[in-house]
Structure 1
Amino acid sequence: MKSTVNIIGSGFSSLAASCYLAKAGYEVTIFEKNTTIGGRARQLIKDGFTFDIGPTWYWMPDVFERFFSDFNKKPSDYYTLEKLNPAYSVYFGEDDYITIEDTLEKITKAFENEEPGSSKKLKTFISKAKSNYDIAIKDLVYNPGVSPLELITPATIKKINQFFSTIKKDVRKEFKNDRLIKILEFPVLFLGAKPSDTPSFYSFMNYADFGLGTFHPKKGMYQVILAMENLAKELGVKIKVNSPIDKIIVENGEAKGLLSNGKNHYSDIVVSGADYHHTETLLEQSKRQYSENYWKKKTFAPSSLLFYVGFDKKLKNVNHHTLFFDVDFDIHAEAIYDNPKWPENPLFYASFPSITDGNAAPDGKEAGIFLIPLAPGLNDTAELRNEYFDKIINRFEKLTSQNVKSDIIFKESFCINDFIKDYNSYKGNAYGMANTLLQTAFLRPKIKSKKVENLFFTGQLTVPGPGVPPSLISGKLVADLVTKHHSILHESTI
């Protein structure tokens, strides 16, 4: 008889884990609390507009390819990928922006125009970033975070200094132009920490940005979720929606299943892709590995205030991805990490998928997604949401030289309270736990519970960390650990 696995949640890491475990011969069932699968990567469909609620950036295409190739598949078996050109643009003031195009050669020219002599420095910087990418993404991140020795390889020993310097120091040592500095520091925001707190080694994100480029799956990021759902079902995975978990069943120190909708669902293994902190609240106090104090002391990646806006016309002077860095980043970062509060003048990001993808909006209209990074745990009210929408839309109009407010058909918002309600997210964080030096690899919360046998964790609060590609990898890591652990247990009982 097949061993059984119950998985909590249906985000990227849970779906990835389900595929690997089913392939390894387990009978797998996913339990999702919401009406649709995808976790943070769900969709909002309204009045002919389609929005990705969560992730909108498709970076590191090689990680997706590696995932699907593990099942003798390709992303193109499920969805169509388009490389964006331009990848994105960055506004620094009124009609004042830099466009990042789709090849390193074009990007170096843009840098040279901005700061003579910077193109040569950029090539050197990206060459080092590529070396880090080859070490990190092709090797290190596929370690389960069990031991510090995972980080010690001949390749990392040569780069040991990069774990003790920071992205901010490295970038500012080479580049003097403030606008170029902001562009080079931007990718590490995906890791959830300030550039001044992010080890230099993470410059591999700059290679992901400039070296590999930015892509868009036709019909949006949700197509990746649907692809993984199709693959999971092909492998025999069962998925139950509208199935919130009330308790993890533990008997004699072993996870034995899940209580959902008043019914016990027994299994040999339990894997949680839900928020790690929340998952531990499904256990009695003595079975939790990490105290409330532990979580309070951790550096969490930001939460976000998001708006999904239907415009009654096509917009000008914007690209599919557009960043608005016309205010002081350090002051905004302080309001996220050092002294948590609503920022006075926030940076923001906007995505207009309908520029690339006709499926995102009706003809002649534009779908807009606006995101303001915020500290988790802030007071979240409808009044504050409206106040901040007015702030950014006024700036948006001024910076892009167009009137849009009178062309808004509708706007929906999503913020801290929604992250808590929909995802049981700790303090309403959007991206999990930041990848600072003291929260890297084996220093993150463990994949395998130390207190409950046969209980495992996956997702952005454990290894490797925040983001979609790391979540796919996290699913593989937990499946490998389950399989290894279970085979050892099985051998010991024979």
Structure 2
Amino acid sequence: MNKKIAIIGSGFSALAASCYLAKDGNQVTIYEKNDTIGGRARQLKKQGFTFDIGPTWYWMPDVFERFFADFNKTPSDFYTLEKLNPAYSVYFGKDDYITIEDTIDKIYAAFEAEEPGSSESLKTFIDNAKNNYDVAIKDLVYRPGVSPLELITPVTIKKINQFLSTIKRDVRKAFKNDRLAQILEFPVLFLGAKPSNTPSFYSFMNYADFGIGTFHPKQGMYEVILAIENLALSPGVEIKTNAAVKKINVDTKGTATNLLINGESVPCDIILSGADYHHSETLLDIKHRQYSEKYWSKKTFAPSSLLFYVGFDKKLKNVNHHTLFFDVDFEAHAKDIYDNPQWPENPLFYASFPSITDDSAAPSGKEAGIFLIPLAPGIEDTEEIRVQYFEKIIKRFENLTSQNVEESIIFKESFCVNDFIKDYNSYKGNAYGMANTLLQTAFLRPKLKSKKVENLYFTGQLTVPGPGVPPALISGKLVAGLIKKHHSN
């Protein structure tokens, strides 16, 4: 192959695809609308503090290893990875929490301490989750979603019931203790749907959590972006920032021919969009779009988020690098996201304090805090609402962790629905794509290759395999493979 390929966006999937496409001998240029690369995985630096704006969890290290191995590299060639212990803690009330440590045996012990006999149930559950992980992450997710036959293997036929049941049903059947059940239901939230709408097969997320563990790249997730950029630049990928694409032009034969960028026409042989899929199609004339507005409106999207990046002038107590706050009704909050979209009265929230692990995240003696409230995409977003919700969660945070922190805030920055739309052209301001429900899995997701326009492709969290950083890397590999297949002479 020796094609001129234009890539829209510079998130994980776009960057990953650029590496494979350049390796295949193509002339690749990335066009990024913002002034820094990384898409949702950008950084915020302020007053000596450093925050990952987007992803903060490093799960499935084997997927990263497999990606770098494709280029005869390892993650350690670019960044230092540390396994977190504890992985995270979950608050259920004031001074009342369960800690998930760094080995499965410690986790069995934590479950047994909470509910005698539960460790045996957990062993059975995790054994099945590991089996699913081996099937999914080592095989199924590396298929391009072209045909339903991709899902039919001797192994998956035996697991058909796991596509018909749900995570919630399986967890609640095996665990009567509500606190333990909530911990087991938590990982699938990364897939963007309620546990009651997520197929049982996705229990492989529990193996990623308990069986493999949670890691942190020294200096933050942005180091992974910089590593992939390094890989991309080596074979000659060109990256242009402040380059917003306004139009994908298609000739009379139905072939994508050029991009309109900053008032100039940029000709290319192949166009790959790693930007939001819905937005990417709006860059086409209506007749060339595969999916209507009605199609998108009926899909289940992953939540949006209200995020706060907070600098504290002291070290905080009674928290871990990752800390979850499940002290309110999960079902009520979930309904406000998926069933009746509105601001939740009592939201669950998540907090990350990277400076507990990583000295580079905050000045000495200070703490960097990231707070996240999952929200329905598309709801009203105003500064007044943001302020109101920060007060809600910070007061609960102080009470639950038995400390005063509000007067120790040096600054706080917020990011919400309007920002996801402005910065990433995100559909309804969703934070991480389209949910992996049964009817939005594999070949049922938007396609990597346009069905209406020749030489136009898509990658990222709205197509296969789905939401999350590891799937984004895989998506980049899948689309590059598809392009190579269709354009090799």
Same fold (TM over 0.5): yes
Task: Show the 5 A alignment for 1:243-392.
Answer: 243-251=243-251, 252-392=253-393
1:433 aligned partner = 434
User: Does residue 418 of structure 1 match 2:419?
Assistant: yes
- Whole-Å separation in 2 of the counterparts to 1:354 and 1:266: 45
RMSD: 0.6
User: Does residue 208 of structure 1 match 2:208?
Assistant: yes
What is the letter of the counterpart of residue 29 of structure 1? T
Task: Show the 5 A alignment for 1:76-475.
Answer: 76-251=76-251, 252-475=253-476
- Whole-Å separation in 2 of the counterparts to 1:259 and 1:75: 36
- Whole-Å separation in 1 of the counterparts to 2:384 and 2:11: 31
1:24 aligned partner = 24
Which secondary structure does the structure 1 equivalent of 2:305 belong to?
strand
Which secondary structure does the structure 2 equivalent of 1:247 belong to?
strand
Name structure 2 gaps, 5 residues minimum. none
- Whole-Å separation in 2 of the counterparts to 1:181 and 1:212: 19
What is the letter of the counterpart of residue 39 of structure 2? G
1:5 aligned partner = 5
Question: How far is the alpha carbon of 1:170 from its aligned partner?
Answer: 0.2
Question: How far is the alpha carbon of 1:2 from its aligned partner?
Answer: 2.6
- Whole-Å separation in 2 of the counterparts to 1:23 and 1:269: 16
Deviations 1:85-109 (A, max 9, x none): 0000000000000000000000000
Which secondary structure does the structure 1 equivalent of 2:454 belong to?
coil
Deviations 1:384-403 (A, max 9, x none): 00000000000000000000
What is the letter of the counterpart of residue 356 of structure 2? I
User: Does residue 483 of structure 1 match 2:484?
Assistant: yes
What is the letter of the counterpart of residue 88 of structure 1? Y
2:74 aligned partner = 74
1:15 aligned partner = 15
- Whole-Å separation in 2 of the counterparts to 1:267 and 1:434: 32
What is the letter of the counterpart of residue 149 of structure 2? L
Which secondary structure does the structure 2 equivalent of 1:45 belong to?
strand
What is the letter of the counterpart of residue 285 of structure 1? I
Which secondary structure does the structure 2 equivalent of 1:340 belong to?
coil
- Whole-Å separation in 1 of the counterparts to 2:410 and 2:172: 43
- Whole-Å separation in 2 of the counterparts to 1:155 and 1:9: 37
Which secondary structure does the structure 2 equivalent of 1:16 belong to?
helix
Which secondary structure does the structure 2 equivalent of 1:133 belong to?
helix
- Whole-Å separation in 2 of the counterparts to 1:481 and 1:70: 16
Question: How far is the alpha carbon of 1:257 from its aligned partner?
Answer: 2.1
- Whole-Å separation in 2 of the counterparts to 1:113 and 1:2: 61
After superposing on structure 2, the runs of 4+ consecutive aligned residues of structure 1 that deviate more than 6 Å are none
Question: How far is the alpha carbon of 1:250 from its aligned partner?
Answer: 1.1
Deviations 1:111-141 (A, max 9, x none): 0000000001101100000000000000000
Name structure 1 gaps, 5 residues minimum. none
- Whole-Å separation in 2 of the counterparts to 1:483 and 1:163: 32
- Whole-Å separation in 1 of the counterparts to 2:77 and 2:241: 25
Question: How far is the alpha carbon of 1:309 from its aligned partner?
Answer: 0.1
1:37 aligned partner = 37
- Whole-Å separation in 1 of the counterparts to 2:336 and 2:220: 31
- Whole-Å separation in 2 of the counterparts to 1:194 and 1:377: 18
- Whole-Å separation in 1 of the counterparts to 2:424 and 2:120: 45
Which secondary structure does the structure 1 equivalent of 2:176 belong to?
coil
Deviations 1:376-417 (A, max 9, x none): 000000000000000000000000000000000000000000
1:58 aligned partner = 58
Which secondary structure does the structure 1 equivalent of 2:341 belong to?
coil
What is the letter of the counterpart of residue 320 of structure 2? N
- Whole-Å separation in 2 of the counterparts to 1:124 and 1:25: 48
Which secondary structure does the structure 1 equivalent of 2:435 belong to?
coil
Question: How far is the alpha carbon of 1:264 from its aligned partner?
Answer: 1.1
Question: How far is the alpha carbon of 1:258 from its aligned partner?
Answer: 1.1
- Whole-Å separation in 2 of the counterparts to 1:262 and 1:73: 39
Which secondary structure does the structure 1 equivalent of 2:130 belong to?
helix
Question: How far is the alpha carbon of 1:265 from its aligned partner?
Answer: 1.1
Question: How far is the alpha carbon of 1:284 from its aligned partner?
Answer: 0.2
Which secondary structure does the structure 2 equivalent of 1:33 belong to?
coil
Deviations 1:354-397 (A, max 9, x none): 00000000000000000000000000000000000000000000
Which secondary structure does the structure 1 equivalent of 2:371 belong to?
strand
Question: How far is the alpha carbon of 1:270 from its aligned partner?
Answer: 0.2
Which secondary structure does the structure 1 equivalent of 2:44 belong to?
strand
- Whole-Å separation in 2 of the counterparts to 1:345 and 1:235: 50
% identity of equivalent residues = 80
- Whole-Å separation in 1 of the counterparts to 2:374 and 2:55: 13
Question: How far is the alpha carbon of 1:249 from its aligned partner?
Answer: 1.8
What is the letter of the counterpart of residue 399 of structure 1? L
TM-score (normalised: structure 1): 0.98
- Whole-Å separation in 2 of the counterparts to 1:201 and 1:154: 15
What is the letter of the counterpart of residue 108 of structure 1? Y
TM-score (normalised: structure 2): 0.99
- Whole-Å separation in 2 of the counterparts to 1:61 and 1:267: 35
What is the letter of the counterpart of residue 39 of structure 1? G
Which secondary structure does the structure 1 equivalent of 2:451 belong to?
coil
